[in-house]
Amino acid sequence: AQKVTQAQTEISVVEKEDVTLDCVYETRDTTYYLFWYKQPPSGELVFLIRRNSFDEQNEISGRYSWNFQKSTSSFNFTITASQVVDSAVYFCALSEPRDDKIIFGKGTRLHILP
């Protein structure tokens, strides 16, 4: 069965520090998709990234980077030089082609302290 684990329930860091959010997934399929979403205090869910299982290259987008490692079934998210506006709940998610649903982790609440 699919499963997504975000072991860090809540993290607090001081502004400008780097922070990594962990995500570990379980799937029996060789083809699958991984996602990260951000939910800021305003409440909307914002799509950040989608990665398919055949693309293990790390992705960088500005201060955001993602480290996908199939060997450890992890898809971690790093924010470099964090800013107060990065404060949000971040969700990791997984889907498999044979199932139209996305399975979300329980989220990590990130506090960036000024």
Partner 1 sequence: DAGVIQSPRHEVTEMGQEVTLRCKPISGHDYLFWYRQTMMRGLELLIYFNNNVPIDDSGMPEDRFSAKMPNASFSTLKIQPSEPRDSAVYFCASSTAYNEQFFGPGTRLTVL
Please give the residue ranges that form the binding site for partner 1 (CB under 8 A): 33, 35, 37, 43-47, 50, 91, 95, 97, 100-102, 104, 106-107
Nearer to partner 1, 53 or 76 (CB): 53
Give the burial class of 102: count Cβ atoms within 10 A of its Cβ; 0-12 exposed, 13-18 middle, 19 or more buried. Answer: middle
Identity of the residue, 64 or 104, whose beta carbon is nearer to partner 1 in the bound complex: 104
Nearest approach, Cβ of residue 84 and partner 1 (Å): 22
Least separation in angstroms between CB 95 and partner 1: 7
Question: Of 52 and 69, which CB lies nearer to partner 1 in the complex structure?
Answer: 52
Quote the least distance from Cβ 54 to partner 1, whole Å: 13
